[in-house]
Structure 1
């Protein structure tokens, strides 16, 4: 009887522990780690002259890692510079061209004053004074017309020079894009191109991701959906080599408001038929976490 009582007690304890374990599992979800991956593509056409990266390299934001041949762009820039100089050299010197008419106008004004004095002394006629005034008006009209013409010519040449300036800025922008500059800090995951290969605009060169913080994408049931909210602190368990597990602190960063069928990564067809909600949990990486690694989250 004592033996049977002992067996019964052990069985009861086992059932109780199993029940507790199942209760904890109800608040668990599984998923895989992922990172925000950025594919860096070429922004210029030409041969890749330099590309100093390898898979696994740590890169900083703004770090120059390579260059694309820019010989033709430099030649285009030089050509545009000469065109701009030629256009500006054609601008008329308004002061010189108007100077002769201005002197003629000054002489006409002097003549008018002299005739005015003669008219007062009744030596000259009113017609001579009228002719002097007409001469002044004609010369002034010529000056105004010439000034307008020279101004129009100058404005047109300035506009042409401005167009060349815009083309120069476009070439400068294209020259900058011949420098391959890393846009985000992170680790090079995949290298798609090598030195001396031809690059075209939009061709992928490498893929990079910040692995200092990974995101566990997990799926929760409708009952779990009501228990968590964005910003909640959770625990994430990851299997280790020796068969144990390692716990990490995580923060719920995103919860999908729409339900979806369980992804095909879930093993059984019955589970894949269930509706679940995707969540993302941000976890600080100590170097042991890898993209694609499985993890369990406890809410």
Structure 2
């Protein structure tokens, strides 16, 4: 009987001591969270490729798939053909004024020759005036033709502007048809699969940066005066049944207003009705998960 009762008594005292010790072991408690980003489709169509799985680590800028864009590609080719056809109607100003340029060249030679003859009294002033007039007429014809051809050319260029804008819009849609990850992190949830139809704004996957994780904990008003942003604290999480893993953490945010104690959170002073939320940044070794329970030693 003594052999039975003695270990039982020791065990009872040990249990009471452990419970009492655990109650004083932490000053605040809460759960781990991370900034979660839901990546949605930016184009409509069938998902043709999607290289990601839940738990996969992705880098920002990494291409992971694409949405069917063949119709966009064909539409772009059609617009490019329209632009080419429109610009092919542009007049060749140099070629169409070449004949008048040659006439001007000959008229200038005649003008110069007549002026030389007039000096030697071999030509009359009227002949020189006629030569001058011919030069002026041809120059005006060239100017008028260049202006007319320039207007036609500018008009055709203007006709291609709306087509060019449509091409830019399609280029943007083609870029958005490629699924490019924009955030370093781990895939938490996958919402779509290959060959599924999607639409603009429809979620494809959820990702979060887990290299550093945040513990949202709650403290009482009495504890508020003993903490500050940038303060280092210890964060405890369950390791085994009777032990904790300890992580160094830094307080990065303290709420400036009180709130009622969350039902799932226990504080050091169980009689407190109002608590203050704090966020503690912790470097994650891969063990910490979103939603895990953690305790804080200030």
User: Shared fold (TM-score greater than 0.5)?
Assistant: yes
- Report the TM-score when normalising by structure 1: 0.82
Pairs within 5 Å for 1:74-223: 74-161=73-160, 163-223=162-222
Deviation string, structure 1 residues 193-242 (Cα, Å, up to 9, x no partner): 12222111111011011222210011223332222222211001123441
Question: How many residue pairs end up in the alignment?
Answer: 281
SS for the counterpart of 1:289 is coil
Q: CA deviation at 1:95?
A: 1.3
SS for the counterpart of 2:148 is helix
User: What is the Cα-based RMSD across aligned positions, in Å?
Assistant: 2.9
Pairs within 5 Å for 1:226-265: 226-265=225-264
Deviation string, structure 1 residues 1-60 (Cα, Å, up to 9, x no partner): xxxxxxxxxxxxx99xx7x988x57x7111110011110110111011122322222323
SS for the counterpart of 1:276 is strand
C-alpha separation in 1, matches of 2:128 and 2:91: 36
Q: CA deviation at 1:146?
A: 1.7
Closer, same or farther: CA 258–153 of 1 in aligned 2, 3 Å: farther
SS for the counterpart of 2:43 is coil
Q: CA deviation at 1:81?
A: 2.0
8 Å CA contact 1:219, 1:276 repeated in 2: yes
C-alpha separation in 2, matches of 1:47 and 1:72: 12
C-alpha separation in 2, matches of 1:114 and 1:56: 92
Closer, same or farther: CA 163–281 of 1 in aligned 2, 3 Å: same
Residue segments in structure 2 that go unaligned for 5+ positions in a row: 1-15
SS for the counterpart of 1:61 is coil
- Report the TM-score when normalising by structure 2: 0.82
Closer, same or farther: CA 258–142 of 1 in aligned 2, 3 Å: farther
Q: CA deviation at 1:122?
A: 4.2
C-alpha separation in 2, matches of 1:273 and 1:147: 89
8 Å CA contact 2:220, 2:272 repeated in 1: no
SS for the counterpart of 1:50 is strand
Residue segments in structure 1 that go unaligned for 5+ positions in a row: 1-13
8 Å CA contact 1:264, 1:272 repeated in 2: no
C-alpha separation in 2, matches of 1:288 and 1:121: 109
